[in-house]
């Protein structure tokens, strides 16, 4: 199926894109890599009258370390994160998660910012950013603002971004998470997460957990933190029994969606299994054994 007709605009700057969004409001959509928007337009699930291409806006495509953070530009591709030497060295979970997205074509053209702003319920990045305590920078008519990741993902395809705002970069602390890992059960065709879990833990010198963040994607309307799991880990020595018991709380508070990929019970089971696996890998890394 062909998309409905639209008017194409190529923005040269973030400010120009914001101006076009302000002018055309709900009739406009941003285009970056296009791997989320174009399929929806072909299915007529999205029918913007104005398409604003930001793919050539300068300064939004880098991946760098700056001021104790990884700074990922909104137009950075998944492959740029996967192949970044500094990311691989200091936070291998990030590059591993990027490598699990789609196929080589998707990873080489799809953008991190586009995926995050789209907030697909089965996308990988939202869970990863929740686990790592990221911040999202956006620019709108009133200037720039920073949104904490815990406040960003609101509901199905819904974020805290305003309709006239452009996501410009993602900032992730380079330290403080000890060990982190992302594990998922992928859909065999799309490679989206049927259930995906990102876990980050910090251990003290005695091996007790001083902090834990667990992000879950794929099973609900949007990515969310498993706060019951986090509470069950904090202050404990993270042996196999403690991890297994905490992982049982992973589906708590999530309204799991049954679909062609599985029943509520099946997805809840996957969530528990992949939470345990992600935590085991994160703990190994926090101890320096993996």
Q: Given a cut of 70, is residue 148 above it in pLDDT?
A: yes
The 10s digit of each residue's pLDDT in 38-96 is: 999 999 999 999 999 999 999 999 999 999 999 999 999 999 999 999 999 999 999 99
Burial 224-243 (b: 16+ CB within 10 A, else e): bbbebbbebbbebebeeebb
Q: Which two tokens stand for residue 36?
A: 């989320």
100 in helix, strand or coil?
A: coil
Long-range pairs for 259-268 at CB < 8 Å and ≥24 separation? 261/187, 261/194, 262/194, 267/194, 267/195, 267/218, 267/219, 268/219
Instruction: Give the mean pLDDT of 220-234.
Output: 98
The 10s digit of each residue's pLDDT in 243-279 is: 999 999 999 999 999 999 999 999 999 999 999 999 9
Is 63-173 a CATH 3.30.465.10 domain?
yes
* Whole-number pLDDT of residue 220: 97
How close are the terminal C-alpha atoms of the chain, in Å?
A: 47
* Whole-number pLDDT of residue 13: 98
Pick the CATH number of 179-286 from 3.40.50.880, 3.20.20.10, 3.40.50.620, 3.30.390.50: 3.30.390.50
For CATH 3.30.465.10, list the domain ranges present in the chain: 63-173
Is 7-53 a CATH 3.40.50.150 domain?
no
For CATH 3.30.390.50, list the domain ranges present in the chain: 179-286
Q: Given a cut of 80, is residue 212 above it in pLDDT?
A: yes
Beta strand extents in 131-250 (DSSP E only): 135-140, 143-148, 153-155, 158-159, 166-173, 179-186, 193-203, 209-217, 224-225
Instruction: Give the mean pLDDT of 123-144.
Output: 98
Query: Cα separation of 128 and 217, whole Å?
Result: 9
Residue 64 has φ and ψ, to the nearest 5°, of -145, 165
* Whole-number pLDDT of residue 35: 84
For CATH 3.30.43.10, list the domain ranges present in the chain: 7-53
Q: Given a cut of 70, is residue 26 above it in pLDDT?
A: yes
Q: In sequence order, what are the residues at sequence separation of 6 or more whose Cβ sits closer than 8 angstroms to the Cβ of residue 255?
A: 220, 221
Q: Given a cut of 70, is residue 233 above it in pLDDT?
A: yes
Question: 198 near 250, Cβ under 8 Å?
Answer: no
């Amino acid at each position: 199926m062909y998309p409905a007709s639209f008017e194409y605009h190529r923005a040269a700057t973030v400010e120009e894109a914001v101006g076009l969004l302000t002018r055309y409001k709900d009739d406009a959509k941003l285009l970056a890599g296009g791997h989320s928007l174009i399929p929806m337009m072909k299915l007529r699930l999205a029918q913007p009258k104005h398409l604003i291409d930001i793919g050539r806006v300068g300064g939004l495509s880098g991946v760098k370390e700056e001021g104790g953070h990884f700074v990922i530009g909104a137009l950075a591709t998944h492959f740029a994160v996967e192949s970044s030497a500094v990311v691989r060295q200091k936070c291998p979970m990030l590059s591993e998660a990027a490598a699990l997205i789609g196929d080589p074509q998707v990873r080489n053209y799809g953008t991190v910012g586009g995926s995050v702003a789209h907030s697909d319920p089965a996308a990988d990045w939202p869970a990863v950013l929740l686990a790592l305590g990221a911040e999202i920078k956006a620019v709108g008519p009133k200037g720039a603002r920073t949104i904490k990741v815990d406040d960003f993902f609101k509901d199905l395809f819904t974020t805290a971004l305003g309709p006239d705002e452009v996501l410009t970069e993602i900032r992730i602390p380079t330290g403080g998470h000890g060990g982190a890992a992302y594990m998922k059960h992928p859909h065999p065709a799309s490679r989206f997460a049927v259930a995906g879990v990102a876990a980050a833990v910090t251990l003290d010198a005695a091996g007790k957990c001083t902090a834990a963040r667990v992000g879950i994607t794929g099973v609900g309307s949007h990515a969310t933190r498993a706060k019951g799991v986090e509470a069950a880990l904090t202050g404990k020595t993270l042996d196999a029994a403690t991890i297994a018991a905490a992982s049982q709380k992973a589906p708590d508070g999530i309204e799991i969606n049954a679909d062609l990929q599985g029943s509520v019970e099946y997805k809840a089971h996957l969530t528990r299994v992949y939470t345990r696996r992600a935590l085991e890998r994160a703990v190994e890394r926090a101890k320096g054994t993996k």
